[in-house]
Amino acid sequence: MITIDLPDHMSHCHQLSKDLFCCNQDYEPTRGTHCYFTDDDKPASHLVIRSLQMTKFWQILSNEGALVIVKSRSGDYHVIDTASASIFEVKNSEHSSHVVPKSFFFSMETSEELSELARSGETYVICQFLKDNNQHYRLAGDEKGSICGKTRILPINDLGGVKFCANPVYQAVIHYDKFVEQDDYNKLRWHLQVSYNDDDDAVVYRLEVTEIDSTDQLGINCEPTVIEVYIVANQVLIKYTIFLPREDATLMSEQKV
């Protein structure tokens, strides 16, 4: 466990990894997103991204470090490459105005490709973006030529938080939200939906869990045959391992070669 003395306004700093201790949004007087780095478990540096607000979307890539999604006042999303302190704009204006971004995921374990879960009416679509040489992520079609492909997974309107992941085998979406009941405990309800990509399996698999005395900090990691869900509850990191219906991950292995 790493302990760093932070000012009061950083008390809700989201810890991302060992080297990138945490990131948090600050309002005044230095409005923007602050990220604190460590070296040998000691504070080392402080990165400030002006005028861009911290979101709940971030991902640690094994070869590239932490990538953090931030948002401007106008609603535009950007990707912060914390290793190089570079900022890339996600060009959402290139797709239809009725498509609303809800979550992001680097599905191929590289910063070159970004997947976006977006809501279109009462359905979800997944849009693919590729990084260009001008610090932008631009829309790109999939292998079928579709810009934003439909998914069988549906939105859940009464759960405000959304995280997702996608790979060559399946897509997974978690809806979650914190609430307080009469016993005054903070509770987190989360609902996982999984859909396989092939046309022969139209089933959407579901799991719902309620965690007592929990914050709204939730992370998801998608492996070929399991999904791992991480939740901060009562100052403890809880890990759920969900074993998927299919144990054969041959298709994913073939896609990665």
pLDDT digits (tens, 9 = 90+) for 194-211: 999 887 778 899 999 987
Average pLDDT over residues 48-76: 86
Residues 33/25, Cβ–Cβ less than 8 Å:
yes
Model pTM? 0.82
Torsion angles phi and psi, residue 133, rounded to 5: -90, 0
Question: Prior bond to 155 cis, omega within 30?
Answer: no
Helix (H, G, I), strand (E, B) or coil at 256: helix
Supply the Cα-derived Rg of the chain in whole angstroms: 18
Q: How far apart are CA 243 and CA 205, in angstroms?
A: 11
Report pLDDT for 2: 38
Residues 103/162, Cβ–Cβ less than 8 Å:
yes
Residues 83/64, Cβ–Cβ less than 8 Å:
yes
Q: What does DSSP assign to residue 16?
A: -
pLDDT higher than threshold 90 for residue 148 = no
